[in-house]
Structures are given as C-alpha cells and as structure tokens.
Amino acid sequence: MKPDLMPNNQKQTAPKTKQKAKKKRSDRSLGYMLIAPSMILILIIAIWPVFQSFYYSMFDLRLNNPVKSEAYVSYKVNLQTYLDNYPFLISSLEDEVDQATGKTKTELEAIKANLEKVDAELKADGELSSKYDEIDEKLTVMEPISEELAISDLDKEVALDLEKAVTDSSERLRELKGELQNPEDVIGLSASLKDSVITPNFIGLKHYKENLTDSRMWKAIQNTTVFTVISVFAELVIGLAIALLINKAFFGRGLVRATILIPWAIPTAVSAFMWKYLYDGQNGIVAKAFAEIGLFDQMTDMLTTSTGAMFAVIFADVWKTTPYMALLLLAGLQTIPSSLYEAAAIDGASKWKQFLKITLPLLKSSILVALLFRTLDAFRVFDLIYVLTGGGPANSTETISILAYKVMFAQTNFGEGSALSVIVFVCVAIISMIYIKFLGRDLLNDR
Amino acid sequence: MNKKAGPMFYVFLTLFVFLVMFPFLWVLASSIKPVAELFGDRAFIPFTNNMTGENYESVFVNYPFLKYLWNSLVVSSITTVYAVLVASFAAYAIARLNFKGKTVILGLVLSVSMFPQIATISPIYIVLKNLGLTNSYLGLIIPYTTFTLPLSIWLLVTFFRKIPFDLEEAAKMDGASPMQTYWRVILPLAIPGIFTTAILVFISAWNEFLFALTINTDDEFKTVPVGIAMFEGQFTIPWGEVTAATVIVTVPLVIMVLLFQRRIVSGLTSGAVKE
C-alpha cells in the first residue's frame, strides 16, 4: 500500500461521513427545538401539578383557614394579624386592669406582662423588628400590606413562646369572663391574636392513612369500579355488535355515522342534565317506560334508590359512549381483509367460528386500545355523575373523583382532597400499566 | 364490506338510530311545549297544540346564556389555535425527524393524556387563584393545555406520518432548509389532518366541565356546560329552559357533525387502529 494514497482516501470519505453526521446532528437539534415548547408546557401544566398534588397531600391544607391556607414547613408569624390585634388587646387589658381589684387585677397584670414579654422577644430579631415597624406604620395609614411583607419566618423557640403566650392568655381571659368589664373585647382580640402564629401543617402520610381506613373512600372506590366495569363491558359488547352489523355497504351510511357521533359530541354535562329530565320521578318519560316494563316498582325509584341511581348513571354513559366504541371497532373491522372470510367459508367454517378465529384475534389490538381509553375515561368519571345525581342518593353513586372534588371545594380541605386525587392518579396508572402490558409497544408503533 | 344489506337490516338500523336520537327528539318536543304541559298527564304526550317559544326566549332573557355561549366560543377557539400550533411543531419533529428519545416523548405525551384531571386541579386552582386568574378566559385556556396539547400531538403525529417521505427528500435535494420544507411542503399537505385535529380539540375544550366548574365561578365567565348545569334552582328545576338550552347547544353540534363526520371519524380512529 502506498503511503500517499491514505490521505487521499480519507479526503474522499471524510466529507461524506462528516456531512452525514452533521445532518444527523442538525436533525437532532432541530427536533429538540421543535418539541421544546410542547414539552415545557406539558411539564409545567400537567406534570408539575401532579407532583404538587402529592406535596399538598402531606399537609393539613385548608383554604378557608388563615393559618392553614398554604403549605408551611416552618414556623411563621403573620405580623399583620398580630399588629391588627396586639396593640388593641394591650390597651383593653390596661383598661381592665384599672377597673379590676384584688386577685383579678394581679391575674390580668400577669397576662399583660406575659404578652409584652413575647412582644419584646419578637422585636429582638433585627429584621423582624424593622418589618414590625413598617407594617405598624402602614396599618395606621390604612395602606394595603402584601402577603410577602405580612408573613415572615420565625425562630422555632420564639414561635412556640408566642403560641404559648397567646393561647394561655386567651384561655385565662375566658376563665375571668365574669369579672371583666368588656369581656367580648379582650376575649375576641386574644382569640384573633392566635391566628397570627403559623405552625407547620406538614402531617406526612396521615391523610392517606385516614383515607385508606375511611369507609366513605372505599365505598367511592367500589362505586367507581362498579360503574367502570359494568359500563365498559356493556359498551364493548353492544359496540361490537353494532360494528359487526353496520360493517357493510348500505344506503345512508354517512347519515348513520353522523347520528352515532352526536351523543359523543354533545357536552357530557348537557347530556347528563337531559337524562335527568328523562329520568325525573314525575315527568320523565324514560323513568315511566322503565317502570311500565317492570324494571322499577315506581317511577320515582329511578333516582331515589341506590341501585336505581347507579343503573341510571350507567345507562346514560352507555348511551353516550357505545356509539364511539362502535366507531373505533368498525375502523378495526375494516382493516381485516375479506379474503380471509372467503377462504374460511370455502373451508366450511361457520359464521360463529369465523368470528372466533378471524375477527376476534385480528381485532384484539383495536379492542384493547378502545378498552384502555374507555376504562380510563370511565374511572375518571365526573361531570355525568356530578350533574345527574350529585353522588347521591346517600353517596350511592359517589365516585372517587366526585369525593375528591367535594372534599376540596365543598369542605375546602385541599390537603385531604389532594390525597384523594393522588389515589385516583395511582389507580389510573395501575390500570394503564395492566393494559399496556397486554398491548405491548403496539400503542407507540413507530411508523 | 361486500355483504349486501337486506330489508331486516334497515329495520334494525332505523330502530338503532331512533334509540340513539330519542333523548334529543323528546327534549326537542318538550322544549316547544308550554311549561304547564311539562307536568302532569300531558308530560308524556310528545305533541302539543299550544306550541310556544317562551322557553327559548326565557333562556336568553332570564339567564346570561348568550354570555355563556360567547365565553365557551372564546375559550375553545383560543385554546384550539394555540394548542394545535404548538403541537404541530412537536408532531412534525416526532413524525419526520430522526433523533433519540422520540418514543419516550410520545409515550410521555400519551400518558399525560391519560392523567385524571382531578389529580392536577388543586395546584392549578391555587396557582391561578394566587395569580388572580380565576374568573378570566386565561384561567381556563391555561389549564386546558393539559388535555388539548397531548391530544393534538397524538393526532398530528399520525397524520404527519402518512405524508410520503419522498416529497421531503425531493425538497431537501432542491436545497430547502428543514423549516422551509415544513412550511412549504409538509404543512400544505397536512392541512386536512390539522383541520381534523382542530375540530376534535375544539369539541374537547367546548365540553370540558371540571376546570370550568371550579375556576370560573362568576356568571361573567361561565362556559355553556357549567352554565346549563347551574340552571338548577334551589328547589325546582326549570325544565322548560333546560330543554330549550339543550336544543340550542345541540343544533350547532349536529350541523358540525353532519358536515365533518368523515373527518371526525378519521381523527377518532387514527392512532387507535394499527394499520
């Protein structure tokens, strides 16, 4: 081999591979650039909230309670609340001291001294002290105070002292109620003063422990499972039957397809209200029809008994989503070549055998995908039940999403509600994992 | 496909279509009855001799229904445009470009689309509340990304994959940059797919209930599904208005579905069927 050929050879191949590598690299960087906006949005708006829900679920978080309205991991003091009450409490106490006699007087003086002592402790911290003055000034001129300024971190010891002092004074003043001139004033002020101390509301996994031993939660899981299993099964069977029947050329195909789509397209909340009208105990035509054929003893049973209500909810869901299921399965059916059936017919296979040996195996992945989406949708069910029954009667149709919503927004207990929503999330994750195990990588088929 | 349809088949078909449509037909018949005929013996007679439009009038006069419709339209349109636009870039990259981690990203998108909404609501609600975005259009458009973006990416990827690769190669040979190829070659061919995606995204945003219920509680910003659900009075339900409102919401949907049924079906079934 001549040595001078080597560089020549390299010269010829190097630019080509370089070009290829360069193209690959540019493809890659362009690819990442194009998916970046979507990924960032999904991370912020969908994935972060799930983690944050889990974080919230470990706190005693109550939006309507000022000392528990956020997740606090450390001791804090709300100086605004403090200064809104403390000066007035002290001056009211002074008035009381002036008018009291004997034992009450010494008792009141002790309370006052105790409060003043912790007040001095608060002001001993340089940063806190300057905030203290700033807020005090703003309060006198009635300027609005930002939350950042109002709430500051507090040393654990000072916080505990402060908490003890305000709780003690509040208790002792209540005991002295009979001896005081204006008991409402001092007792009210000392009670409000308690709201200025913010103790950490981290409670670990307590919400989970409580939920997992709560019969209402298990009832909700049970309701959700019953609803999901029955409705999805009925939708699959009826949907498959419809798909098989309309899988042929016929007049008015487009029109039938459009009719099928309407229940799917209408907002669930609206269709739920429509069914509520049809199920009504006095003037609901469907309730009357079901009562006439003997499904219920009385028309009113439909929405006032637990089995009636569960049946009503499942029936409405089957009506709304069976057509959708049928469409998905129909699309799957149309990919099965008719030559297979012809060959089977020549071999003398019966229709039923053809269905078992050709249709079902070839439709397997379509069925599984449809089942996956439907099961997850049914498990998350919210609007249909919220509008149709509200979870009633007597929580008999309360699903886990409805329960989580009620705990969060009706009881404003965000900590416990978040724990419930994490439980929903875990259930959904488990269900999808089971399906994906069956489906394998089919779902993400690359090309 | 080549099986012939017999007369029995049409009987069955008519029955099936009637059963599916029955609730709508009944509600339509009820909505034009005077309120008195919605109760008592006349409640079960579908026809009335005293046809009236009073329920329809009342929906617009006694309830801010027009406002609800407008709110739904604004929120759903903006959500659709922005979700489909952002998703089209990502879908193009996943379907047409070669880079590591594509399958993982697609898997992530799919799993996000399976997230239960209730699992994201508490942080989203608290953040929007702290930002002062509850009771605003943006307060719904932002959280609607959680389901519209994965849906759009998922659908668009399947549409983009169907476009022949030769065209792209040809454009590259002619010296077009990847961005030029996207705008000049791929996008025009993908318009039908993008349109289909937009229809499905629009419907899903229009129908959303949980976020709308919790975030926009003010009548000024309520959307149609929540607005109708809240028609319920404390003691009685105004059935006349409810049926009329249901008809008003359903009619445009029926028209849309009739016009675009082919597209909607192709959108619904793409990705769900392995070819």
**Nearest residue on chain B to A421, alpha-carbon basis:** B119
In this predicted complex, what is the ipTM? Answer: 0.90
Residue B120, pLDDT score? 92
> Residue A447 contacts by C-beta under 8 Å, 6 or more apart in sequence?
B161
Given an 8 Å threshold on Cβ–Cβ distance, is A380 in contact with B117? yes
Q: How far is B146 from chain A (nearest CA, A)?
A: 5
CB contact under 8 A, B26 and A250: no
In a domain, B240, yes or no: yes
Positions of chain B with pLDDT lower than 70, given as ranges: 1-5, 233-234, 271-275
Residue burial B88-104, b: 16+ Cβ < 10 Å; e: rest: bbbbbbbbbbebeebee
In chain A, residues with a C-beta closer than 8 Å to the C-beta of B20 are 259-260, 262-263, 319, 323
Report the phi/psi class of residue B102: left, alpha or beta, with left for phi > 0 and alpha for psi in -120 to 50.
alpha
Q: Which residues pair with A202 in a beta bridge?
A: A59
Q: What is the pLDDT of residue B1?
A: 42
Q: B113 and B248 share a domain?
A: yes
Of A283, A338, A445, the CB nearest to B39: A283
pLDDT of residue A12: 47
B127 Cβ contact list (under 8 Å, min separation 6): none
Q: A208-444 is classed in which CATH architecture?
A: Orthogonal Bundle (1.10)
- Non-local (6+) Cβ contacts of A341 within 8 A are A354, A358
- Are both B152 and B104 inside the same structural domain? yes
Number of domains chain B contains = 2
Residues of chain A with CATH 1.10.3720.10: 208-444
Nearest to A417 by CA among A52, A48, A43: A52
Tokens of A64: 């309507």
Residues B243 and B146 in one domain: yes
Q: Can you read off the two tokens belonging to residue A291? A: 């009562």
Return the DSSP state at A88. H
Cβ of A278 within 8 Å of Cβ of B124? The answer is no
Supply the Cα-derived Rg of chain B in whole angstroms. 23
Residues of B whose CB is below 8 A from A28: 97-100
- Same domain for B104 and B164, yes or no, is yes
Using a CB–CB cutoff of 8 Å, tell me whether B157 touches chain A.
no
Residue from the list A53, A324, A420 with its beta carbon closest to the beta carbon of B123: A53
Write out residues in chain A with pLDDT < 50, as ranges: 1-14, 446-447
Three-state secondary structure readout of A204-256? CCHHHHHHHCCHHHHHHHHHHHHHHHHHHHHHHHHHHHHHHHHCCCCCCHHHH
Note whether A42 contacts B89, CB cutoff 8 Å.
no
* A410 has a chain B CB within 8 A of its CB: no
Which residue in chain A is spatially nearest to B265 when comparing CA positions? Answer: A327
Pair (B192, B63) in one structural domain: yes
Cβ of B150 and A46 within 8 Å? yes
SS3 A167: helix
| pLDDT value for A15 | 54
Whether B106 and B165 map to the same domain: the answer is yes
List all residues of chain A from 6 to 65 with a beta carbon under 8 Å from chain B.
Answer: 24, 26-28, 30-32, 34-35, 37-39, 41-42, 45-50, 52-53, 56, 63
pLDDT at position A234 is: 96
What are the distances in angstroms from CA A54 to CA A50, A400, B120, B125, B199? 6, 16, 10, 15, 34
**A428 touches B at CB < 8 Å:** yes
Exposed/middle/buried for residue A167 (C-beta within 10 Å: 0-12, 13-18, 19+): middle
Q: From the list A261, A285, A424, which residue is nearest B118 (CB)? A: A424
CATH number of the domain bearing residue B151: 1.10.3720.10
Could B145 and A41 be called an inter-chain contact, meaning their C-beta atoms sit closer than 8 Å?
Answer: yes
| Type of residue found at A3 | P
| Residue B1 maps to a domain | no
Chain mean position to CA B247: 17
Of the residues B33, B52, B71, which one is the last residue of a structural domain?
Answer: B52
Tokens 């008018």 locate to A99
- Residue-wise pLDDT for A398-438, tens only, equals 999 999 999 999 888 899 999 999 999 999 999 988 888 87
Cβ–Cβ contact A280 with B under 8 A = yes
Q: Residue B67: its pLDDT value, please? A: 93
Instruction: Give yes or no: residues B11 and B96 share one domain.
Output: no
Residue A386 to residue B258, Cβ atoms within 8 A: no
- Give the integer Cα–Cα distance in Å for A169 and A145: 27
Tell me chain A's radius of gyration from C-alpha atoms: 34
Check CB contact of B239 with chain A, cutoff 8 Å: yes
Please indicate, yes or no, if residue B275 is contained in any of the structural domains. Answer: no
Cα dist from A63 to A56, A60, A197, A404, B211, whole Å: 12, 10, 16, 15, 18
- Flag whether residue B32 sits within 8 Å of chain A, measured between CB atoms: no
Q: Tell whether B16 lies on the interface with A, counting CB pairs under 8 A.
A: yes
Query: If DSSP codes are grouped into helix, strand and coil, which group holds residue B54?
Result: helix
With an 8 Å Cβ cutoff, is B104 touching chain A? no
How confident is the model at residue A146, as a pLDDT?
Answer: 79
- Whether the bond into B23 is cis, omega within 30 of 0: no
Range of the domain at B25: 7-52
Measured between beta carbons, which residues in chain B are less than 8 angstroms from residue A41? 86, 145, 149
Same domain, B117 and B21: no
B205's CB contacts (< 8 A; 6+ apart) are B75, B76, B79, B80, B144, B148
Longest dimension (CA), chain A: 119
**Are B18 and B151 part of one and the same domain?**
no
B209 shares its domain with B261: yes
How close, in Å, is residue B142 to chain A by CA atoms?
8
pLDDT at A1: 39
Q: For residue A89, give Cα distances in angstroms to A92, A164, B114.
A: 5, 16, 55
